[in-house]
Chains A and B, each alone.
Chain A
Amino acid sequence: MKKNKTLKTSDTPARFKVGDRVQVRDMPNIFYSRTQNYVRGVTGTIAACTYKDLIPEDEAFDHDGRREQYYIVRFRQKDLWEEYPFDNDTLQTEFPDHWLEPVRN
């Protein structure tokens, strides 16, 4: 069994900046994730670049993976729930870099 007791983390560079349009990747939901099911495949806007940290899917299993930039992404509620009644309402949630894909405006 590989035990990575020494912290050998490598940082991946941030790909996005505030205002960028991004789409959440539709990755399989297996074992553990903090990426909500209902945002997968939906397009939103980077609202903030927060911090660099380990990826939840790896840290949860004590696997010292790479550190990634985290972002707060803002979605229109209407894009998440078709029946949502108010046009201007938004929802914000957070992702590490690899969960997001760039969207051309």
Chain B
Amino acid sequence: MTSRPELRHQYDIISSFQPALHVPQNWNYETPDPLFRAYMHPPHDVGGQRDVPVHYEEKEEEQWELNTYVTCEVLGWRGIWTAEERRRRADNDLGYTLYLGVPYYGRWIWSAARMLVDKKHISLTELLEKIAEVKSRYEKK
């Protein structure tokens, strides 16, 4: 159960994702370049952008990452999606906050779950109930 201080902390993290200034936008027919083009830019197209040096770490995949990879591949073999759809969902549709905020395979599993709901293989309610059930099973252990 989320305590009130935990809830406050959660809302503080969410605030840190948001731009400090929320300026209401009023756009007319004349395309408001370069703002519009910047917002439409796909997050995975990072070439040419300024960045700090990337810290390189030699590291094995976590078990959940391997499971995610296999799950996504099997969904491909079964014809549920293609690698290109997975890339479109995981690299493009997520938006910058999730793209930059979750681990690489977090983007994969997010997009696999979203795809299964979008295509009606599972309902969102079924997914949420299953997650809640598994979570409570682990909490009892």
Contacts and interface: CB of A to CB of B under 8 A. Distances in A.
B7 A30 contact: no
Contact of B124 (A4, A25, A31, A37): A31
Interface in A50-71: 55, 57-58, 60-63, 65
Instruction: Tell me which of B114, B117, B131 has the highest count of chain A C-beta atoms within 10 A of its own C-beta.
Output: B117
Interface in B110-141: 113-114, 117-121, 123-125, 127-129, 131-132, 135
B132 A61 contact: no
Interface residues of B, number: 21
A22 B2 CA distance: 16
Mostly, the A contact residues are loop
A30 B128 contact: yes
A65 B125 contact: yes
B2 A40 contact: yes
Contacts of B119: 1
A61 B117 contact: yes
A41 B128 contact: no
B120 A3 contact: yes
A61 B113 CA distance: 13
B35 interface: no
Contact of B120 (A2, A25, A30, A38): A2
Interface string A17-34: 000000001111011100
A25 B97 CA distance: 27
Contacts of B132: 25, 27-28
A86 interface: no
A32 B2 contact: no
A89 interface: no
A82 interface: yes
B51 to A, nearest CB: 30
